[in-house]
Amino acid sequence: MEKLLDRFLRYVAVDTQSDEDSQSQPSTAKQLDLLEMLCRELNDMGVEAHLDEYGYVIGAIPSNTGDEVPAIGFIAHVDTSPDAPGAGVKPQIIENYDGGDIALNGVPGLFLKPEEFPEMLHFKGLTLITTDGTTLLGADDKAGVAAIMHAVQYLKEHPEIKHGPVKIGFTPDEEIGRGVVKFDVKKFGADYAYTIDGGETGELEFENFNAASAKIHIRGRNIHPGYAKGKMLNASLIAMELNGLLPAEQKPEYTCGYEGFFHLTNFNGTVEEADFSYIIRDHDRTLFEKKKETLLQCVGFINKKYGEGTATAVITDQYRNMREQVEPHYFIVEKAVKAMEMEGIKAKIQPIRGGTDGANLSFMGLPCPNIFAGGLNFHGKMEFVPLESIEAASNVIVNIIKLFAATED
């Protein structure tokens, strides 16, 4: 059977970047390369699995106990973020990490440094997998994919382990907020599920941001600069002015914990017109709605100043805070805590400063907390993951399966 490291490296070698501007499902055909691979591998391990028309891999392992045991699902997404290059990933393997700077050899002079990322020092003596500085790594969420597949492999190697029905799901397009829009919860067949899509070892989350995206268009007026006085409307400068109206302290780099933010994700502008996008986030529903209203007020101010129709905004809700759906079934969180304790891991229950497929799944009737997969510095070239963290996630999956099958639980 394949080793965990080899499996993870094989998965990150596949370019699976999603595309928010695409209207297809999945948004990029290249995601199907990995999805088809995973479907084949599950079938090769003796797990009945299929890839449906929407790009969802669904697998099922029947119960091997005569007891009435809930069906438990484990879900991870295959796509990687559009925020950084995702093709041609060249991982670096740092064995027995010594706590020093790590050169990212694809970019001369670029280092992963503990003085900038002090959490690196938590992993001295372990095996770190980093990028080479030219792409992201893809541990978000191929670490979760590898952890699930490794757990499935372990179950198949150890048929003596008693378990109820186990459901496996791999999804596309999570990074662009469309991961489960066509996911058939009833067909999946789980009573409860867990996404394996968190960060550092021990992370356990059952509440997340309320989320929306906003696309702003500015219509300017281009006049020869030599004769522009009183006539020119520079769309790029107006866009910058609008951005400056938003609360400066509510940017990602100034927030933490339960604090929400406006995040400018891209900008494309000329004198004639400009287009830019935000993501809007807050755990508190009232504050979330207020943020959306604030952005619309800024648009209104620009239109009052420069003329109606200068600025237009389209705001789209993406997902909601899953806490209200998971908390009534809090025992599934407690199962995960116990499963971590069985590995000597102290659970860190905290809000997700982001989202997972589990948020939408919880509102679709499948309560779905989120468990760590081990990666850090997601969505960028500084991404890395300790191999031992992926292994720990896999062991926690197996422990959860055991706990739900245990008669005393």
Using pLDDT thresholds of 50, 70 and 90, give the confidence band for residue 20: confident
Distances (CA, A) of 10 to 6, 140, 260, 290, 310: 6, 14, 36, 44, 49
The predicted-structure confidence for 261-294, as pLDDT tens digits, reads as follows 999 999 999 999 999 999 999 999 999 999 999 9
CATH 3.40.630.10 for domain 4-208+321-405: yes
The predicted-structure confidence for 367-386, as pLDDT tens digits, reads as follows 999 999 999 999 999 999 99
Residue 171, number of CB atoms within 10 A of its CB: 28
In the chain, where are the structural domains located? 4-208+321-405, 210-319
Using pLDDT thresholds of 50, 70 and 90, give the confidence band for residue 207: very high
- Active-site amino acid positions: 79, 174
The predicted-structure confidence for 134-177, as pLDDT tens digits, reads as follows 999 999 999 999 999 999 999 999 999 999 999 999 999 999 88
Architecture of the domain made up of 210-319: 2-Layer Sandwich (3.30)
Using pLDDT thresholds of 50, 70 and 90, give the confidence band for residue 193: very high
pTM: 0.85
Using pLDDT thresholds of 50, 70 and 90, give the confidence band for residue 233: very high
CA-based nearest residue to 51, from 31, 27, 73: 31
> What CA–CA distance (Å, rounded) separates 205 from 336?
10
CA torsion sign for 129, 36, 190, 81 is: positive
Report angle CA 193, 197, 199 to the nearest 5 degrees: 135
> What CA–CA distance (Å, rounded) separates 86 from 129?
16
